[in-house]
Structure 1
Amino acid sequence: MNLRLVARASLLVNLAGLVTTLQAQSSAPIPQSTGLSYPDNLTGLVYSEVGQGSGAIVRHPRIVLSCAHVVFDDYLQASASGWTDLNDFTLAWNGDTAPSAENAVPLRGYVRFSRYAETSLNPEKYNLAFSEDFVAHFSYFNLTDNAPAAFWQDGVAALRSSAPKRITGYPAGLYNDGDPLQYRLHRTPDFLARLSIDFGRYLGAVGPSTGSGNSGGPAWVYDLKNHEWKFAGVLVSGLEKSQGDLDNEIGVVGANAAPWSLVTAAVKASGGAAPVTPLLFNSTAALPAAIPDGSRTGVSIPFDVSGAGKRLTTLRLSLSSDHAYPSDLTITLRAPSGRNVVIADRPELDYVELTEREITGFAGQNPNGRWTLLVRDVATADIGAVTEARLTLIAR
């Protein structure tokens, strides 16, 4: 049976019961009797000289994504560089005792942001380390027989959306050593809280919680269009009100083009074929950009694309606007070749927020050059602005 379809059915049954306001939603152990379905079955324990964390198999069956601080000892400097050499991974463990060596698989290496070490050891830049807290482990052989987890090309945008979310992993910090629940896989209830950016790619929300000890736990966001959970980032911090903290809280590093470059490097290092890395281009316009009211001229939002392949295969648009009445708007995207594709023509929407919307009509074109997003307000009275705009593309 397709585990992703099972997960989809489960979510659709429960979707109506999801709350739309932030509230305390702590993770809980998954019952051992239920078995593990997608994406829980791709979450696992990471052990290192530094301690225990969580991770997930994403994009490639040899790659585990986790937190840098799970394998970087910024206090004891366990090795000359601070990076540990002995890391084990146990996939989908949900037992009452710690996994044995027979269950664990050695992670042969890792690719990480060097800036994490630089910032975490610098008191003036310590907070910036959170936004670099991401690591890609690799193995020389497949870690699972299942397909690796699907992923959001722009995890930051997905985490900021109103789509359903959940976090899985092993919050060992909630329990005493030896407590059976310390080794059980946990999952938060599905929640709709929009995470907000604190700095860089580090986002947070008050309400949901996994408690402490779950660093590297995958943050999943549900793709309502394609009906599946996708990896969007890793948990790097968590507070738990029941443990004496003021509120439940989560801190997540969202994945984007920079972490995916690590995955590409890790796949190459493990001897596999490197996937094509999506390229992300933010608009070169100063945002927010006001949309002229009742004007056929509109506002032009440019994107300067360079360094891509010469044949476009995939193009996605992320766009946000605070316009009071979106049905006044028409939105058109123009390629460097001059070809135009209408994205929306006076849509019946309450608000404009496109996240990784796939755009067709440009396949095969050379994407390098200036793209222009033209947003027109063809009626009067209501006003607004374009607040965010980015293109994500794959070209060969």
Structure 2
Amino acid sequence: MRIVAAPDSFKESMTAARAAAAMAAGIHDVDPGIDCIEMPLSDGGEGFVATVAGPLGAEVRTVPVRDALGRPHDAQFALSGRVAVLEIAEAVGLGQIAPADRDIMASATWGVGELIAAALDAGADDLVIGLGGSATSDGGAGMLVALGVRLLDAAGEPLSGTPASLASVESVDVTGLDRRLREARITIASDVRNPLLGPTGAAAVFGPQKGADPARVATIDEAVRRFADIAGRIDAADAPGAGAAGGLGFAMLAFLGGRFRPGIDVSLDLCGFDAAVRTADWVFTGEGGMDGQTLQGKAPWGVAQRARGLGARVVGFAGSLGQGWERLLDAGFTAILPISSGPAELQTALSRGEADLRRAAAAAVLLLREPADREDDR
């Protein structure tokens, strides 16, 4: 039997790599002879670089950038030949900012521009950028400033690109935008389909998660609208995904010529998923929570769709099952298993996630083994 262990992270409990290792340990608890391929995955959010660097045989480089508040910070990207894989959470991730320090009006994406410039400096001209987990909602203005775009107020003075500064923008000068970007291919790995503006836009949907109250949401939305309009790129604001990562999707699409692809598809391709699954009997996948929304492009759903097309059967594992999880059984999953070993407080459940996943993977193997194999166990 061959099993591919291809989970996403279980948020606040274990990384994708640790989840894959827990699955493999449970599988081998039952039968050390089972061929298990560990393939941790990411849909473009936190952990994207870490999950693809190994399969690509990429060099991981560390470079100095600014975080969302402009403080010095180290970020990593993966380099394989002329291909660079980046994740914006490395530069401006929400998790890097302590809750007491979060200030969305003073936060910007300068670090993303600096990370892109570092990849270009390293000789990359094919950039794969995972969007997710940002602490920002600046429409990508800070990134553009770091890449040479000038945002000017009525007096011709340069603006920083924070949401607070965008209310004063009167002109946008793109002549200084890094010329290397003209020849670069930019793939945007994201499952977010929100537009930039309005009630389903970046500020309204994701701003509250980053500390924006209703008044600030309205202020940010209007400031970013002004920026997009004055830049002459307002048409791109309605593009699906423009609202990803606080509007970075918009800036990458409208100014850098990026193209969107579902994050999990990008991850599966970079990790060599198809080749591994063609000779596999089962695929184990999962993440912290699975429900009806998993069908909206979440990593386990992407795994199930791809695996089913390759003739493999799929078992999903989840820390919790929410409303509508039963629909997953009609969408490529053979079984969905909660990993919890019993009632527990949230923090307790999170702390024992690896042990519970290991146990659940072992139980799944016992159920899935052929009858002859079960006889051998007696």
Q: TM-score, normalised by structure 1?
A: 0.26
Which one scores higher on RCO, CA 8 angstroms, separation ≥ 6? 2
Q: TM-score, normalised by structure 2?
A: 0.26
More strand by share: 1
Task: Please identify which structure carries the higher helix content.
Answer: 2
